[in-house]
Amino acid sequence: MRVPWQLAKIFSPYINEIQGQENIPINQFILASNHLSPIDSVLAILAVRRKVVFVAERRLLQNWLFRFVVFFIGQSIPNSTDENITLYSSKLQHGKTVALFIQGDIHPKYKKNNRIHTGAIVLSQLTQIPIVPMKVENLDKVWPLTYWPLRFWKVKSINIKIGKPIIVPKEIKKDEYQKRSNDLYKKIIKF
């Protein structure tokens, strides 16, 4: 990953508080977070204080801003779900931290009909590496869903909460993935 720590620190003045950093494992983990804004990935780097590999979908490369961010952080984006599982399982096994925004797209508010992605549950089950839930709050005050303008005057607005690690049992069945993913997301938004 090519994001210099100093560059990520540009957003530090906007963070009011990071709770639960003691829940971050020493070894690799899967970071599962809500998704409020284009700068969520930078906030994840600030919160966990380490290099993070982000999971993304190829279709997002159609957006010029996203293409720039992907280039900037040195992200690779696989062509298919199977390639995703293989690539990110390998990165976890080699000591990397992998982050997923389990909502998929940016959603500033929870809605019951949001489709929650199952990738965090699948990766944790396959690798037996813990999921660390994270919630970002009030980011829409600094950078609303529309990309511009960034509200530079809204300092100390963002709160980040990090939950205790969760390991998904190896014996769960595929038909449980969606329910477990939905439960994980509900846990994140209730922090």
Domain that holds residue 150: 5-189
Compute the radius of gyration of the chain from its Cα atoms. 16
By CB atoms closer than 10 A (0-12, 13-18, 19+), residue 90 is exposed
According to DSSP, the β-strands at 30-33 and 52-54 are: unpaired
Taking residue 45's Cβ as centre, other Cβ atoms within 10 Å add up to 24
Instruction: Identify which of 120, 111, 132, 134 has the alpha carbon closest to the alpha carbon of residue 40.
Output: 134
The CATH number covering residue 45 comes to: 3.40.1130.10
Residuewise pLDDT in 10s, the chain (191 residues): 344 455 566 777 778 889 999 999 999 999 999 887 767 777 887 888 887 877 766 666 677 766 666 665 555 555 556 566 777 777 777 788 888 888 776 665 555 556 788 888 988 998 899 999 999 888 767 666 555 565 655 666 788 999 999 999 999 998 999 999 999 988 998 88
- Which structure tokens are listed for 30? 């899967």
The CA distance from 75 to 180, in Å, is 27
Domain count of the fold of the chain: 1
